[in-house]
Amino acid sequence: MTGKNQQPSGVLHYPPGSLTRFLGPRFWPTWGGLILLRLMITLPLSIQLWLGRRLGEILFYLLPRRRFYADRNLELCFPEFDRADRKKVLKNSFRNVGMSVFETAMAWWASDHRMRGLYEIDGLAEVDKALAKGHGVFLLTAHFTNLDICGRMLNIAGLSYDAMYRRHNNPLLEEIMRRGRERCARTAIAKRDLRGIMKSLRENRPVWYAPDHRSRGSMSAVVPFFGEPAVTSTATSSIARSSKAAVVPFVSTRDGNRPYYKLKILPALDDFPSDDMLADTLRINRAIESWIRECPAQYYWVHRRFRDRPEEYGDAYAEKN
């Protein structure tokens, strides 16, 4: 199963279409940004990452609401940090967001040749071992800022997988992202497409899955994340139970600010799922917490992770007096 990706036999969620339908004036700013980004990836990746850090420093001041969300998330998740330590991680997290813009562009458009030598990967055989059971694999990961480029590297290393994703509101960006994803994954599955997920698992395929962002609906529950109540997806436990898929953790980090990436695939979780869906979900949250603690600035903190929880837990993002 770790052979080179093949195009999916089924119909894509977003059928390919001509980009000429996006030539109207409303899309001109998006086109301008995409063309500039496409030109920038001709630069060495080290220079791109330097530019990304500068972009992140600008975004730190241009996006005050996102800065507030990230700061509040860090305050809740790392109460042991003093104000100075938290501010340092906060600023570095925005630098990582800036670098991720260029890393994502590399994932979409760069050649395989340019990627080789930029990463090391450990544990690829763990996926084959799990697939040998014949029930598919949940490739469990989290929303680190380098996820797109590391997903592409996973593909180059020979792992064919399907990936879950969230749709984008901008139709031009959605089309570009769909095309970019096809450089990384065999096919993309919408986050709520349970039928599509089960189909991939029945075909004994790995499915890239990051359950660490907030989730709503029947497959969610309030489960501690860094000890703080958070509305969390319980789908990993539910789907693993019904499909008998193995859950194999995948962790990816950048080596500081260097253009070098460490991809690590861990052994499948033992005794998972259990009879307790909430205990399973807490177990996953704690695993993700341990990965984040290794490089907190590389996690995507600008997301409102503690949004939409029941009133008794309070509004995590309420302004302080």
List the chain domain ranges.
27-313
Q: How far apart are CA 87 and CA 74, in angstroms?
A: 9
Model pLDDT, residue 3: 45
Helices (H), the chain: 28-40, 45-62, 64-77, 83-109, 112-115, 125-131, 147-156, 171-181, 194-202, 235-243, 277-294
Cα–Cα–Cα angle for 63, 68, 69, nearest 5°?
Answer: 100
Residue bearing the bigger pLDDT, 10 or 302? 302
Model pLDDT, residue 321: 57
Model pLDDT, residue 16: 53
Pairing of strands 228-233, 220-225: antiparallel
Cα–Cα–Cα angle for 28, 33, 38, nearest 5°?
Answer: 120
| Amino acid at position 19, single letter | L
pTM (predicted TM-score): 0.89
pLDDT digits (tens, 9 = 90+) for 253-300: 999 999 999 999 999 999 999 999 999 999 999 999 999 999 999 999
pLDDT at 165 over 70: yes
Alpha carbon of 17 to those of 11, 20, 34, 174, 179: distances in Å? 13, 9, 18, 11, 10
Mean pLDDT check: name the lowest of 69-83, 201-215, 250-264: 201-215
pLDDT digits (tens, 9 = 90+) for 78-105: 999 999 999 999 999 999 999 999 999 9
Alpha carbon of 234 to those of 191, 239, 241: distances in Å? 13, 9, 11
Asked if 127 contacts 137 with a C-beta cutoff of 8 angstroms, the reply is yes
